[in-house]
Structure 1
Amino acid sequence: MRKNQIIYFLNAVYYGIWTINMKFGDFIGRIVEAILSPVPKYFFSKSYKEKYYKRLPTEREKTEKFLHDSKSGYYIGCANYCFAYFYSGYSIFLSFVLIGIADKIWGHLHLLIDLLLLALPIEVCFIPAYSAVFSNDRYSKYFRQFEKEDEHWHKKWRGITILFIMGSIIFTIMGFLAMWGIDHLL
């Protein structure tokens, strides 16, 4: 039961990141469209303007698929990156502490060893998240379920996603401060 709750949580946060990315991207898209909308009206010839407006619905449909497709769209790619980054923010705390301890015990280490101490906990801790969200495209099953939820559920998980992101940032900063404190103060 506990494992299923963690899987649900991670998929809901991933879904939240995806929807936040889409809303932000669509907002920026509307701004860009508003800025560029006078271009065809004032700078295109009459024949080109007709072709432009004739093709516009088809191109919008293609753009919509390119951006919003939940399998290979632009926003799902951004969500992959953001989810990995913010999930790793929690384990990077451990990485920074290990680097601080190693630097304190053995002095300043080679950059390669520091990178290994940084990457190893992150990679090991990301394995369960990868299994819970990405293996066999598990997230797509959850996405279908989450899309059916009501607005209250979406608001709740949007807030939880934002707290997840803020927690990751705080853990990253605290990890860096812990590394510095271990290396310089102890």
Structure 2
Amino acid sequence: MNRLKDARTGKTLKRIEREIGRAYLDKPRLSQIENGKLNPVPGDIPAFLAAYGAEEVTELWDASDLDYGVKRPRSERKPDRNKKTGRIHIRTSQKIAKRFHAIRKRYGYHTGEQCFIAALDALEQEKKRTAPTAGTVETAGVSRSPQSNDSPSIGQGGQNVNDSSAISKPI
């Protein structure tokens, strides 16, 4: 419960409005703040204290009235030593950032981290699916099994790669 009406002591709302000096705090809004329907912006509290002649915030409001549910800035918080976290910062164009957020929302990911994890998982699955089979060696764009001794392999550009420098050797 606020005590603004009691603290006003004979001043009109028009006078309070002038003393606070904020264009967006007109008489109707001040009335709503006095009646407890709105809370002041935290940056305006010193102006309210001066206009209402109070020295402490607790003279005008209870602590529960001004609990905005806002956490302190990260720089002021104690680090959470139980979490092992890392930070990835990616600079990209606005077009790509908008695309990322659109995809994130389309697929129902609530955070960028969830979407990022899903993308990493999808990349790993794709890599496993397209990876060469065990025992196959890739050399100069040619995949061949070490057990095969069949016809010459053709590499990039159509040239024969069966010379001694490009022959696949068993692992």
TM category, shorter? under 0.3
Give TM-score, length-normalised by structure 1: 0.20
| Structure 1 or 2: more helix by fraction | 1
Name the structure, 1 or 2, with higher relative contact order (CA <8 Å, separation 6+).
Answer: 1
